[in-house]
Amino acid sequence: MTPAVAHAARGYLLLTPAMAVLAFTMAAPLGLLLAYSFWTQHGLVVDTRLTLAAYAAILSDPGFALVFLRSLAIAAMASLAAIVLAYPVAWFIAFRARAKFLWLLLVTIPFWTSYLLRVFAWKVILGYNGVINSGLMALHLVATPVTFLLYNPVAVVLTLIHGYAPFAVLPIYVSLEKIDPSLLEAAADLGDNPAKRFFRVTLPLSMSGVIAAFVLIFIPATGDYVTPSLVGGANGLMIANLIQAQFGRADNWPLGAALAITTIAAVSLLCVLAATGARRAASRIR
Q: Which of 205, 264, 266, 271 binds other proteins (CB under 8 A)?
A: 205
- Given the complex with other proteins, which of 204 and 233 has the nearer CB atom? 204
In DSSP terms, which residues pair with 45 in a beta bridge? 42
Residue in 26, 33, 73, 77 with CA at minimum distance from that of residue 259? 33
- Decide: is 189 part of the binding site for other proteins (CB under 8 A): yes
Q: Which of 3, 140, 193, 280 binds other proteins (CB under 8 A)?
A: 193
Q: Which of 100, 120, 123, 192 binds other proteins (CB under 8 A)?
A: 192
What is the nearest approach in angstroms of other proteins to the Cβ of residue 78?
28
- Given the complex with other proteins, which of 268 and 283 has the nearer CB atom? 283
Q: Give the interface segment with other proteins, choosing from 20-28, 120-128, 194-202, 234-242 (CB under 8 A).
A: 194-202
Cα-flanking dihedrals φ and ψ of residue 96, to 5°?
A: -120, -30
- Decide: is 97 part of the binding site for other proteins (CB under 8 A): no
CA 208 and chain centroid, separation: 16
- What residues numbered 264-283 form the site for other proteins, per CB under 8 A? 282-283
What is the helix, strand, coil percentage profile of the chain, to 5?
75, 0, 20
Residue in 70, 73, 74, 68 with CA at minimum distance from that of residue 261? 68
In DSSP terms, which residues pair with 42 in a beta bridge? 45
What is the nearest approach in angstroms of other proteins to the Cβ of residue 11?
24
Q: Give the interface segment with other proteins, choosing from 15-23, 46-54, 187-195, 270-278 (CB under 8 A).
A: 187-195
Tell me how far apart the alpha carbons of residues 274 and 201 are, in angstroms, rounded to a whole number: 21
Q: Give the interface segment with other proteins, choosing from 5-13, 64-72, 129-137, 197-205 (CB under 8 A).
A: 197-205
CB–CB of 87/169 below 8 Å?
no
What is the nearest approach in angstroms of other proteins to the Cβ of residue 224?
34
Alpha-carbon distance values, 240 to 59, 68, 229, 274, 285 (Å): 17, 9, 9, 22, 38
What is the nearest approach in angstroms of other proteins to the Cβ of residue 85?
25
Per rule CB under 8 A, count of chain residues that contact other proteins: 20
Torsion of CA 152, 69, 259, 118, to 10 degrees: -40
Binding positions for other proteins, rule: CB under 8 A: 180, 182-183, 185-193, 196, 200-201, 204-205, 282-283, 286
